Amino acid sequence: MKNQMIYALAVMFLLAISLPAEAQAQGKSKVKKEQVQKKKDKLKKSKDEVEGEVEEVEEEVEEMQDKAKGKSGERGKSSENKGKNKDAKEKDGDEDYDDDDDMETDDEEKGPKVKKEKDKSNKGNAYGKNKGDLSGKEFGQQRAAMAKERLKETEEQFQEKEEVLVRGRKKVEEAKERVKKQREERTSDEEILKQKEEKIKKAEEKLNELEDTIKRGKDRIKKQSEAMKEIKIPQDQ
């Protein structure tokens, strides 16, 4: 009986010693578990956040792609319109500015890459290719009318330059007179007078070149004017 009591006490003592340690250990592991759980939660949260951000970015990319597709569709339409505008421009040269403005706006919207592509595609004229809604006959008539108009403008340009030539010759003569007077009156050094004469000589040479260009150019324009008359474009009855 006594032994049993001793045994029971010993057991109780051992239990009393071991329980707090176990509880402490359990407490420690619980804290650790909580910390691990917190870390897990934190990681999960940040993972969710990252996934959310990725989804947002993907949505933005999709939107941009849709927009780009939409714009390329619009561009297709606008290039068709440009074709029509070109036709309209050929009908009426005064609409040049409007067309250019549109192009600038389009360039701003499309960005440099698109502009580069467009520049590439704009090399050379598209005469005879982009007829739009015009029939071959109408297109030919329009082109011929434009060429005649350009001929007329160039003839006027030659007349203007002939006036420049006449005024220039007069100016040269006046400068020569001034230099002659300065030499006679000895109001300038001979060195300076020679420099002035050099300038006059150069101006005379340039005027001679201009005169030559005017002569040759007028002949050329005359020939082209005659060639235009020879071109057979079907006319409306």
Partner 1 sequence: MEKAIEQVEEVEQQVEEASEELDAKAKEAEEALMELDSI
Measured CA to CA, the distance from residue 211 to residue 205 in angstroms comes to: 10
103 forms part of the interface with partner 1 (CB under 8 A): no
Question: Do the Cβ atoms of 98 and 144 come closer than 8 Å?
Answer: no
User: In this chain, which of 20, 76, 93, 234 binds partner 1, going by CB under 8 A?
Assistant: 234
Nearest Cα to 130, choosing from 89, 96, 71, 72? 89
**Phi and psi of 123, rounded to 5°?**
-65, 130
- Give the type of residue at 164: V
Closer Cβ to partner 1, 69 or 167, answer by number: 167
With CB under 8 A as the rule, give the number of residues binding partner 1.
Answer: 50
Q: Does 99 bind partner 1 (CB under 8 A)?
A: no
Q: Give the chain's count of helices (H) and strands (E).
A: 4, 0
Tokens of 4: 């049993």
Helices (H), 92-187: 96-121, 136-185
Stretch that binds partner 1, among 28-36, 39-47, 74-82, 139-147 (CB under 8 A): 139-147
What whole-number distance in Å separates Cα of residue 90 and Cα of residue 108?
25
By beta-carbon proximity to partner 1, the closer residue of 78 and 154 is 154
Does 134 participate in binding partner 1 (rule CB under 8 A)? no
Displacement of CA 91 from its chain's centroid (Å): 27
Does 158 contact partner 1 by CB under 8 A? yes
Q: Shortest gap between Cβ of 82 and partner 1 (angstroms)? A: 20
Q: Which of 13, 128, 189, 194 binds partner 1 (CB under 8 A)?
A: 128
| Of the residues 207, 235, 236, 237, which one makes contact with partner 1 according to CB under 8 A | 207
Question: CA 193, CA 184: separation in Å to the nearest integer?
Answer: 11
CB 142 within 8 A of CB 130: no
179 binds partner 1 per the rule CB under 8 A: yes
The residue within the footprint of partner 1, chosen from 39, 45, 171, 194 (CB under 8 A), is 171
Residues that bind partner 1 (CB under 8 A): 125, 127-128, 136-137, 139-140, 143-144, 146-147, 150-151, 154, 157-158, 161, 164-165, 168, 171-172, 174-175, 178-179, 196, 199-200, 202-203, 205-207, 209-210, 213-214, 217, 220-221, 223-224, 227-228, 230-234
